[in-house]
Structure 1
Amino acid sequence: MEWYWMGATLFAILIGFILIGVPVAFSLGLAGTVAVYLFLTPHMLMQLARISFDVASTHLFIVAPLFVLMAGLVSQSDVAEKAFLAATKWMNRLPGPLAISTVASATLFSAISGSSPATAAAIGYTAVPEMLKHGYSKRLAVGTVAAGGTLGILIPPSVVMIIYGIITETSIGDLFAAGIIPGILLSLLLMLYVMVSCIRTPPVSIENTVITWSDRFAALKGIWAIVLLFIAVMGAIYGGIATPTEAAAIGAMVALILTLPRQGMGLSGLSLVLVRTAQTTSMILLLIICGSFFGFVISALGIAHEMVAVLVEAQVSPWTVLIGYLILLVILGTLMDPASMMVITLPLAFPVLKQLGFDPVWIGVLVTIAVEIGMITPPVGLNLFVLQGVVPREITTKDIALGALPFVGVLLFGLLLVLVFPGLATWLPAVLP
């Protein structure tokens, strides 16, 4: 059978399993198993055991659960609320200060959470009621939180980048560095859009509090934990003190020390965080194992190699292939979570893109931005569902979806800038040790 028929059959089997409700991780493993029986030899199923051992025992995989634990600890405490209150003190003179403060606090919280849903939920719980109280439109309020939350998987440390690094064997330290400038750029673009929106339709504030400089500096006390945690993790990596794995352990330890005494944590909160960490880690482990096996099957069938040969022979522009893949990720984001998208598509797409000459680190940033756009793309963006559980009941699902829609355009513009100017992602990893 020709390689394209084998590829079509493999992905048809995968989609079939997903459509009947089989979890993505198991769908990948089952599709790969069926393909081995159909096109290869059953003896190759031994590779699943080898891949499982290699993935579970690699030191790189320790990074994921430790950063998940760190994100869970800071999400369970009042760190996000303190960041939002500090931002409101410093942004009060700008148009739409609460909405801008929401983006600013989401940016700060992203630097220690590594998770988009966690950022959206933690910031939204405080920010949305406060914006409604001061006369902001419901759709602008929830859209700002949804879009700001997406920064959680771009600004390091990022669990999505860790998954990308493990699957593609790309340096996690380089990926973290590459996400900093694009993350700040997207944050500024979101703030600019919010300012323009609030100038055109000013919120009707019912409260006018005078804020002094002493109030502003006093509010900075609330974000010292964020700054310390970010320095502990990123400083350890780029100061040459620790590897990303060791830095993750440092981050988890510092997060535990900082958050355990805080309101909302305690032993009961810690117990909840540990359970969630175990659940999330298990999901990521199964996704990576089954995704790696799926990638092995694709490689064994020669699908990626043949696809590159066809593209080169047909003289298809490498940029066309890259842009097409990014569009696919944005579309898939309306249907599934970022980890599942990456594990399903990267085994085929990454070898092709790498052989076409694209920088793996730059691809990692583009992929991360594309999947984060999918997280707020109606009707099924993950952040939209997360927000539904934390916002006031008067805000409907329709409000959340329509509120997020304009921010999709802002993030697409940011993706275009990083696509046109690769140096935004590649410059910092090149200059850091």
Structure 2
Amino acid sequence: MSTDAVAILGFVSLFVLMLLRVPVGMAMGLVGVTGYSYIVGLGPALKLVGQTSMRTVTDYTFGVIPMFMLMGALVSVSGVSRELFKAANSMIGHLRGGLGVATVLACGGFAAICGSSVATAATFSAVAYPEMRRFNYPQSFSTGVIAAGGTLGAMLPPSTVLAVYAILTQQDIGKLFMAGIIPGLLAMLMYVITIMLIVKFRPEWLPAGETKPWNERVQDLKNVWAPLVLFLFVIGGLYGGFFTPTEAGGVGASGAFILGLVRRKLNRTNIREALLSATRTAAAVFTVLIGALLFGYFLTITQSPQKLTEFLTGLGVGRYGVLAMIMLMYLVLGCLMDAMAMIILTVPIIFPVITHLGFDPIWFGIIIVMTVELGLIHPPVGMNVFVIKSVVKDVSFTTIFKGVLPFVATDIIRLVILIAFPILALWLPGRMG
């Protein structure tokens, strides 16, 4: 059997295994090892499994993943999400649409510490949704703004998705984190503008909340200074070159632990909960990474990336035409699988095409994550939508998808802006110390 036939059979087998609900990491690893052993031999394939597994879990650079996950878990169990929402709501909740804007701002603040879209969406489904419903915000808008706000976890540092992209493409994790800041802030701004437009054309949908006295507002702001300072310290140290990404993760986790103890937000029970949560999530990510690397070795020996590059560049549609085709592929895949699976499955194949076409790999990482963000909320799958539905059980999927449509349109506009103006993603990385 030719290597082309083996590669095609490998892809078909992978999708069959995924349809059978075999975990993505296991499916990729199984197909990768089987294909590699068919072409090279069983002995080298088994040796590759051992070497890849050991190298992945002991690589110093990869330590950034569990460190930032632990930071996010400690902050999460400390109740920071409620404090962020309460502070934002105190300042602007008395305005029409203010609760929606407060949700976006709080999601951004929490995402900047947590680094997970799914966790952000799940958390604010419990925190912000009841408050918006208390003031008669429509169910569709309430769930839609939470789903959109949750996607900020994929873009704002310390994004797990960006870290995995950096590992798969051997890019600088710190530069990718910096590259995500301006697009993430742009997303928050455009979500706020979207809410303001809804207020303008449908003011009865988004009534004003209660007005709180200034002394209460000041106190609510005081309650969130610590986690925000922690984020600025970690990202500032990374930007200035004082920390490596792994060191920044360690500093962030240590800082979150110390702040939680000082503020009396941590106890033995929730510390144990945070450690278990971070360990489970990191183990799952490492399992998927090992599977992806094994699958990548299989692709390399079949020369699939090179052949795909030759095929796409030979279509005569230009490099932006190829980019548009890749973006369309990601939007379709967003209907079928979650964000991490999309990144891990496709980047080893697509990345050589992008570098051959001369696109900046840091910029492309941001574009990929923005497209993945769209996949988190657009129908018919939308991982964030399913997460919200699992928390807010009295709302239908149709209602939630109806609520996210304005934000999907906003994300498409933002994607076009970032493609037209790459400097928005590349300016901060270019100025790092």
- For residue 149 of structure 2, what is the amino acid of its counterpart? G
CA distance in 2, matches of 1:325, 1:289: 25
CA distance in 2, matches of 1:412, 1:206: 28
- For residue 91 of structure 1, what is the amino acid of its counterpart? I
What are the within-5 Å matches in structure 2 for residues 118-137 of structure 1? 118-137=119-138
Are the counterparts in 1 of residues 70 and 278 from structure 2 also a CA contact under 8 Å?
A: yes
Q: 1:84 corresponds to which residue?
A: 85
Once the two structures are superposed, residues 144-168 of structure 1 have per-residue CA deviations (whole angstroms, 9 ceiling, x without a partner) of: 0110010011011111111111111
Q: 1:220 corresponds to which residue?
A: 221
- For residue 121 of structure 2, what is the amino acid of its counterpart? A
Are the counterparts in 2 of residues 110 and 119 from structure 1 also a CA contact under 8 Å?
A: yes
Of stretches 59-68 and 203-212 in structure 1, the one that deviates more from structure 2 is 203-212
Are the counterparts in 1 of residues 140 and 400 from structure 2 also a CA contact under 8 Å?
A: yes
CA distance in 2, matches of 1:206, 1:346: 44
**Cα pair distance change 1:212/1:304, threshold 3 Å:** same
Are the counterparts in 2 of residues 337 and 375 from structure 1 also a CA contact under 8 Å?
A: yes
Q: 2:146 corresponds to which residue?
A: 145
Q: 1:425 corresponds to which residue?
A: 425
Of stretches 77-86 and 40-49 in structure 1, the one that deviates more from structure 2 is 40-49
Q: 1:250 corresponds to which residue?
A: 251
Report the alpha carbon displacement of residue 330 of structure 1 after superposing the two structures with TM.
2.4
Q: 1:15 corresponds to which residue?
A: 15
- For residue 295 of structure 1, what is the amino acid of its counterpart? G
Report the alpha carbon displacement of residue 355 of structure 1 after superposing the two structures with TM.
1.7
CA distance in 2, matches of 1:196, 1:207: 15
CA distance in 1, matches of 2:95, 2:176: 33
What are the within-5 Å matches in structure 2 for residues 29-428 of structure 1? 29-45=29-45, 46-92=47-93, 94-203=95-204, 209-260=210-261, 265-391=266-392, 393-428=393-428
SS where residue 210 of structure 2 aligns? coil
CA distance in 2, matches of 1:52, 1:38: 20
CA distance in 2, matches of 1:386, 1:32: 31
SS where residue 151 of structure 2 aligns? helix
Q: 1:27 corresponds to which residue?
A: 27
Alignment gaps of 5+ in structure 2: none
CA distance in 2, matches of 1:131, 1:149: 16
CA distance in 2, matches of 1:315, 1:30: 36
CA distance in 1, matches of 2:14, 2:172: 29
Are the counterparts in 1 of residues 355 and 361 from structure 2 also a CA contact under 8 Å?
A: yes
- For residue 170 of structure 1, what is the amino acid of its counterpart? Q
**Cα pair distance change 1:31/1:100, threshold 3 Å:** same
Report the alpha carbon displacement of residue 407 of structure 1 after superposing the two structures with TM.
1.7
CA distance in 2, matches of 1:11, 1:210: 57
Report the alpha carbon displacement of residue 312 of structure 1 after superposing the two structures with TM.
3.3
CA distance in 2, matches of 1:415, 1:330: 12
Alignment gaps of 5+ in structure 1: none
Number of residues of Structure 1 aligned to a counterpart in Structure 2: 432
- For residue 404 of structure 2, what is the amino acid of its counterpart? A
Once the two structures are superposed, residues 384-403 of structure 1 have per-residue CA deviations (whole angstroms, 9 ceiling, x without a partner) of: 12212333x43233322322
CA distance in 2, matches of 1:374, 1:32: 26
Report the alpha carbon displacement of residue 203 of structure 1 after superposing the two structures with TM.
4.2
Of stretches 252-261 and 112-121 in structure 1, the one that deviates more from structure 2 is 252-261
CA distance in 2, matches of 1:407, 1:145: 10
Identity %: 35
**Cα pair distance change 1:356/1:149, threshold 3 Å:** same
- For residue 239 of structure 1, what is the amino acid of its counterpart? G
Cα RMSD for the two superposed structures? 2.0
- The TM-score with structure 1 as length reference comes to 0.94
Are the counterparts in 2 of residues 111 and 156 from structure 1 also a CA contact under 8 Å?
A: yes
- The TM-score with structure 2 as length reference comes to 0.94
Of stretches 91-100 and 296-305 in structure 1, the one that deviates more from structure 2 is 91-100
